[in-house]
């Protein structure tokens, strides 16, 4: 069996939305819990399950792969990624902001994992930073309008935004960046913010200035969305230093069908909306605000890259083929993301490693020359093992495809 329907766990976090996945995909939520993430993959924290052909019993995908990794993943993928599925695929639905966060690169993750293991910190401990030894670049594809913060702003733009809201307490902090408008100055500026002994004082000073600015300027003033976002963040996390994040991190709104990519070390936060996330197979998060969870400032700084990201280059431009598939190319070696749109025609795909398909819209049938066939409706997903070699999609709908570029 090389085409298997997945049974995927749903993660309930306070920031999740109770009804988005219900309305979009018909998932059951009788207890009205916040449905934050649906995980599709083999991460041991919350693996998907499949029905095996041999005994018709459910088996967790990570265990299924462990039993014969070269056969399931393909020999090249198994050899390159230590016998593990290299990516983790998610549906993410945020009704309120997630934490300001960064992810480690591969070396940092390996060192952090080993260090915390040697220290005897349990995997489920609230102060545990590293849940595995992997890096975590990630791609986000908007299903609904999706609001996020992504990467440091240009130095001069950050200075201009803070100059509008600074007072006696914020002035000496922004002066650090004014005097050194470069990577070192950005690091020093952000460190002064994050380690200030009275963060609530800084936030209150900024909010007072924001209220005054809103009354002075028309609704279409360029900085109004940033001011309004800061006010909204303060309603959820009053006095949290992360409230000031929109003044130094790019605020981006993805429309449905748009995507963006985040490299390891990029400071970011997801604010509101439902999206697909495709990332390296990791759950490593270093947090810096807007959360009741563990914040480790030294570790956050050791993993964050203090370089601006151009706002004009945040969104990915899809590469269209001559048929029904368009691909969002990134620098990640662990994963590749594409979307296939079907309007009654058939679409053939040749593979040399394992893939996961998720149906965004409509009803789609997945079949191969060996006679295997699965029909999936929106919200359902399938795991395609490497020995499939090729499969054909048919029907009417839209399918998201996660694979590894080998």
Quote the DSSP letter at residue 142: E
CA count, 13 A, side-chain hemisphere, 310? 3
Angle at 112 between CA 111 and CA 118, to 5 degrees: 90
Which of the residues 153, 187, 287, 401 is marked catalytic?
287
CA 48, CA 285: separation in Å to the nearest integer?
Answer: 21
Whether 287 sits among the annotated catalytic residues: the reply is yes
Angle at 370 between CA 365 and CA 375, to 5 degrees: 15
CA 210, CA 182: separation in Å to the nearest integer?
Answer: 26
> In angstroms, what CA-CA distances link 213 with 35, 200, 208, 223?
37, 20, 9, 10
CA count, 13 A, side-chain hemisphere, 320? 4
State the residue for tokens 């270093």: 286
Angle at 151 between CA 332 and CA 309, to 5 degrees: 80
Task: Check: CB of residue 127 under 8 Å from CB of residue 115.
Answer: no
State the residue for tokens 């990519």: 261
CA 24, CA 135: separation in Å to the nearest integer?
Answer: 31
Strand-pair category, 49-51 with 3-5? unpaired
Residue 212: Cβ within 10 Å count? 12
> In angstroms, what CA-CA distances link 308 with 165, 254, 269?
21, 19, 16
> In angstroms, what CA-CA distances link 97 with 13, 23, 301, 403?
11, 20, 21, 29
> In angstroms, what CA-CA distances link 196 with 117, 175, 237, 289?
31, 15, 17, 13
The residues assigned a catalytic role are: 287
């Amino acid at each position: 069996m090389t085409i298997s329907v997945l049974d995927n766990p749903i993660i309930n976090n306070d920031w999740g939305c109770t009804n988005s996945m219900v309305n979009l995909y018909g998932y059951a939520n009788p207890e009205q819990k916040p449905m934050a993430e649906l995980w599709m993959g083999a991460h041991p924290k919350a693996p998907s399950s499949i029905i095996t052909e041999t005994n018709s019993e459910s088996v967790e995908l990570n265990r299924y792969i462990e039993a014969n990794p070269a056969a399931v993943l393909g020999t090249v993928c198994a050899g390159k990624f230590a016998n593990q599925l290299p990516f983790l695929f998610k549906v993410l639905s945020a009704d309120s902001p997630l934490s300001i966060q960064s992810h480690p690169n591969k070396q940092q993750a390996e060192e952090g994992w080993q260090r915390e293991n040697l220290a005897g910190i349990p995997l489920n401990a609230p102060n545990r930073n590293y849940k595995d030894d992997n890096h975590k670049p990630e791609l986000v594809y908007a299903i609904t309008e999706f609001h996020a913060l992504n990467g440091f702003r240009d130095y001069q733009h950050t200075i201009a935004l803070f100059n509008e809201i600074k007072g006696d307490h914020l002035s000496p902090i922004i002066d650090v960046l004014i005097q050194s408008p470069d990577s070192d100055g950005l690091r020093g500026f952000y460190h002064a913010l994050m380690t200030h002994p009275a963060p609530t004082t800084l936030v209150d000073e900024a909010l007072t200035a924001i209220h005054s600015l809103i009354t002075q300027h028309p609704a279409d003033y360029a900085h109004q969305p940033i001011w309004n976002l800061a006010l909204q963040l303060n309603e959820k996390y009053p006095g949290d230093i992360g409230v000031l994040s929109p003044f130094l991190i790019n605020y981006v709104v993805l429309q449905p069908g748009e995507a963006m990519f985040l490299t390891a070390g990029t400071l970011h936060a997801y604010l509101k909306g439902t999206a697909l996330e495709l990332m390296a197979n990791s759950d490593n998060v270093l947090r810096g605000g807007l959360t009741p969870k563990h914040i480790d400032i030294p570790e956050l700084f050791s993993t964050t890259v203090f370089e601006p990201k151009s706002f004009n280059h945040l969104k990915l431009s899809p590469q269209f083929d001559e048929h029904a598939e368009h691909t969002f190319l990134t620098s990640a070696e662990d994963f590749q993301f594409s979307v296939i749109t079907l309007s009654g025609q058939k679409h053939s795909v040749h593979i040399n490693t394992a893939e996961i398909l998720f149906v965004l819209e409509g009803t789609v049938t997945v079949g191969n020359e060996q006679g295997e066939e699965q029909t999936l409706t929106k919200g359902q997903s399938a795991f395609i093992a490497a020995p499939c070699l090729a499969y054909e999609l048919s029907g009417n709908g839209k399918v998201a495809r996660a694979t590894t570029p080998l």
